[in-house]
């Protein structure tokens, strides 16, 4: 089984990934390719650089490129795979073309901001205003190579609303797994 995760920044995608990995799933991330390219280009490691590089790679290689690379890795290894994070429509389409499902994770914006602040990573050390601007930039684009989280969320096979506890999130993930394994 393949699950592609999409969703807003700080919504809980990483927590969902960690949970699935604890259940034996293999994890793949287009972000690994992006991070390596940011370093190669000697850009600062922040969300602006990551977004710029991701959009450039998708523009040059196709809108599903980053996730297609992750799918190649997953096929080589086999087993259940969780792939994060789908940002463009082409990435969601790539997961579906591989027989996978798209699961979206979303939460209230103020709650998501608090979560990223608690994470404490360098790329999350931003103001609420910058966070809101980043969310707006990633929300929608008419360019298929760019972020379009709203379309990915709206078109997802399942939506997880993560406004509660971690346990609530994990129960929703378990419920999805029960539904698709029938």
Q: To the nearest 10°, report the CA torsion of 106, 141, 66, 118.
A: -40
pLDDT at 47: 84
Neighbour count for residue 58 (Cβ, 10 Å): 24
Q: What string of pLDDT tens digits covers the 182 residues of the chain?
A: 999 999 999 999 999 999 999 999 999 998 899 999 999 999 999 888 998 999 999 999 999 999 999 999 999 999 999 999 899 999 999 999 999 999 999 999 999 999 999 988 877 888 999 999 988 888 888 877 788 899 999 999 999 999 999 999 999 999 999 999 87
Cβ within 8 Å of residue 12, ≥6 positions away: 105, 107, 115, 160, 162, 166, 169
CA distance 1 to 177: 10
Q: Which domains does the chain have, with CATH numbers?
A: 2-172 (3.40.50.300)
Burial 125-150 (b: 16+ CB within 10 A, else e): ebeeeebeebbeebeebeebbbbbbe
Q: Which tokens hold the place of 112?
A: 């998501």
What pTM value is reported for the model? Answer: 0.91
Predicted local distance difference test score (pLDDT) of residue 180: 92
């Amino acid at each position: 089984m393949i699950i592609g995760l999409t969703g807003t920044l700080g919504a809980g995608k990483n927590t969902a990934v960690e949970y699935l990995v604890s259940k034996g799933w293999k994890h793949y991330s287009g972000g690994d390719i992006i991070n390596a390219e940011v370093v190669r280009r000697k850009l600062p490691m922040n969300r602006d650089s990551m977004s710029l590089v991701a959009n450039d790679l998708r523009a040059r290689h196709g809108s599903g490129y980053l996730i297609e690379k992750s799918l190649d890795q997953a096929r080589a290894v086999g087993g259940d795979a969780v792939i994060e994070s789908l940002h463009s429509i082409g990435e969601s389409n790539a997961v579906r073309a591989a027989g996978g499902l798209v699961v979206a994770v979303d939460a209230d914006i103020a709650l998501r901001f608090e979560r990223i602040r608690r994470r404490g990573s360098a790329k999350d050390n931003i103001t609420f205003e910058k966070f809101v601007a980043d969310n707006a930039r990633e929300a929608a684009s008419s360019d298929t190579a760019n972020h379009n989280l709203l379309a990915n969320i709206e078109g997802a096979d399942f939506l997880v609303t993560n406004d509660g506890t971690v346990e609530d999130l994990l129960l929703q993930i378990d419920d999805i797994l029960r539904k698709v394994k029938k």
